[in-house]
Amino acid sequence: MDGTLLETDVLAEGMKALARRPLAFASALPALVLGGRPPFKRRIASLATLEIESLPVRTDLLDWLRDEKASGRTLWLATAADRLTAEKVAARIGLFDGVLASDGATNLKSHAKRRALVHRFPEGFAYAGDSAADLPVWAGAKSIVIVHARPAVAARAQRLGPPVERVFG
């Protein structure tokens, strides 16, 4: 979702929103210190008021996803962002059959995301991503969709083995 479907990162957006409320932001810091990223993401997601409708979407990817959905493809939003925010983004987009996301205990990033997708889709899955953290997920995918990735990341993804289904940007 972050950097792929959206042109921004919702954790960063949430932290910016909370920076205008110093006491609220300070109340999120113990979650980071005591529990790490998953509880911190959950705390930020629960405290920050994000304007979900104003988050910038990658329209080229969104148009393609609409076409894929219209042709009968099942679409899931898989993200390391917290589920509280991911579900709101999924509702805004209105195309996803389900959401896999961080949950306050598990940071669904990189290898954890790959494990979750392999478990949920044992028959295989296509994965759209944009960053080096997506390389382990692409390596376990049936096909790869590269979305506005840096050239070095795109080159590494193309060498992983699964076919590249589509490249954006």
Mean of the pLDDT values across residues 144-165?
Answer: 98
Single pTM value for the model: 0.93
Are the C-beta atoms of 84 and 102 separated by less than 8 Å?
no
Share of the chain above pLDDT 70, in %: 100
Mean of the pLDDT values across residues 60-65?
Answer: 98
Are the C-beta atoms of 1 and 11 separated by less than 8 Å?
no
Decide the pairing of beta strands 76-82 and 98-102.
parallel
**CA separation for the pair 140, 144 (Å, rounded):** 10
Average pLDDT over the chain reads 96
**CA separation for the pair 51, 54 (Å, rounded):** 5
Mean of the pLDDT values across residues 25-29?
Answer: 84
